[in-house]
């Protein structure tokens, strides 16, 4: 399920697309990140905890999904692993009223 989308101009001035997903059928790797289009698309699935790495901050910001970092921090502090559905429910509760795409 796509929860975020954004674009940022690349070096050639083209609007390069970025996406964030929660895969409700994959509790092991529930977070999907992708960028590009057509043959230039790249993407992968990750554990929620991977979003705590600095390398994903820009991607999440472009897609207006920074609140996933808060959910990842909560997961880490509670020393648990959230299911994909738990992540989605927490996402919905944080995003309601913010005009986010749910």
Q: pLDDT tens digit string along 5-52?
A: 999 998 889 999 999 999 999 999 999 999 998 887 899 999 999 999
Distances from the Cα of 87 to the Cαs of 7, 26, 57, 71, 74, in angstroms?
24, 11, 18, 7, 11
Q: Which of 45, 41, 36 is nearest to 1 (CA)?
A: 45
Beta strands in the chain, from DSSP E residues, in sequence order = 2-9, 15-22, 31-35, 42-46
Question: Domain extents for the chain?
Answer: 2-94
Per-residue pLDDT reduced to its tens digit, 49-98: 999 999 999 999 999 999 999 999 999 999 999 999 999 999 999 876 55
Round to whole Å and give the CA distance between 98 and 16: 24
Q: Indicate the pTM of the whole model.
A: 0.88
Round to whole Å and give the CA distance between 46 and 32: 6
């Amino acid at each position: 399920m796509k929860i975020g989308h954004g674009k940022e101009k690349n070096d050639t001035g083209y609007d390069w697309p970025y996406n964030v997903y929660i895969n409700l059928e994959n509790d092991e790797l529930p977070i999907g990140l992708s960028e590009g289009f057509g043959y230039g698309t790249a993407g992968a699935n990750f554990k929620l905890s991977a979003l705590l790495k600095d390398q994903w901050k820009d991607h999440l910001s472009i897609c207006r999904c920074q609140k996933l970092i808060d959910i990842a921090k909560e997961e880490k502090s509670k020393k648990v692993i959230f299911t994909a559905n738990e992540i989605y429910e927490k996402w919905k509760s944080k995003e309601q009223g913010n005009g986010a795409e749910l």
